[in-house]
Amino acid sequence: MGLTIQQVLSRAFLLLGTTGPLFATYFWINQRNSVEHVPLTMPDWVPFLPILALPYLALLWTPTLGIFFIREQQCFVRYVISFVLAYGTVAAIWIFFPSEMTRPELAEDGWSVYREMVSVDRPVCILPCGHIVGPMLVCYFLAQENRKHLYWLIPMLAFGSFCIIATWQHRPVDVLIGMVIAASAAWICQRVIPTKPGRHPKAP
C-alpha cells in the first residue's frame, strides 16, 4: 500500500527538521580553519576517478529516499532515529579527531562537476565517512521490510561506496567504519523500538 500525500509531507518535515541541523553541523565542522587536522593517506592502489563525482553527489539525496520507499511507519521512525544517532556519532568524531587527506590535482580541463564540488567541500572530515550513513540505513530498513530488496540494494551500496572512495573523499577503511556506525545505530533502535506483533521481514 502506497503512502498518502499527508504521510509524505509529514515525513518530509520530520526528516528536514532532523537532518537539516546535522548537515549544517557538517559544513560548520568542514569550514573550521583554526583546527589542526591529523593527515591521512589514501592507499596507493585506489584509483582517482573524478568522473564519478555526479553519482557521489547523488548519494546526498539518499536519506530523502527513505521518505518514499520505507513503507512501515515503525521502520521509518527507526530510520530517522538511527540517522540522527549515527550521524551525530560521526560528527562527534570529526570534532574531537579532526582529519584531512590531500586530494590529487585536477587537470585544467578536468571534470567540472568534481571541480565545483571540491571548491566547496574541503578535504577534511575524512574519518569516518558520513556520506555512507544515509545509504546504509536506507538499505538496512528496506531489507527489514522485504529481504528481496537485498538483490538490488547490495549492488547499489557497493557502487556508492566505490564512488566515495574513487573520488578520494574517503579511504576504504573510513567507509567501512561509517557502515559499522550506521548498522550499530540501527541495531540499537531495533532494541529500543520493538517490532509490533505480526510484523517481520518478508523472506526472499
The dihedral formed by the CA atoms of 102, 161, 59 and 174, expressed in degrees to the nearest 10: -50
Residue 197: what pLDDT? 52
pTM value surpassing 0.85: yes
Residue 199: what pLDDT? 52
Beta-bridge partners for 40: 101
Residues of the chain where predicted confidence (pLDDT) is lower than 70: 1, 109-110, 195-204
Residue 68: what pLDDT? 80
Predicted confidence (pLDDT) per residue in 78-87, tens digit: 999 999 999 9
Residue 166: what pLDDT? 97
Domain definitions of the chain by residue range: 5-192
Q: Residue 125: which residues within 8 A CB-CB, separation 6 or more?
A: 26, 29, 30, 94, 98, 99
Predicted confidence (pLDDT) per residue in 47-67, tens digit: 999 999 999 998 888 877 777
Cell digits for 99?
582529519
Residue 59: what pLDDT? 84
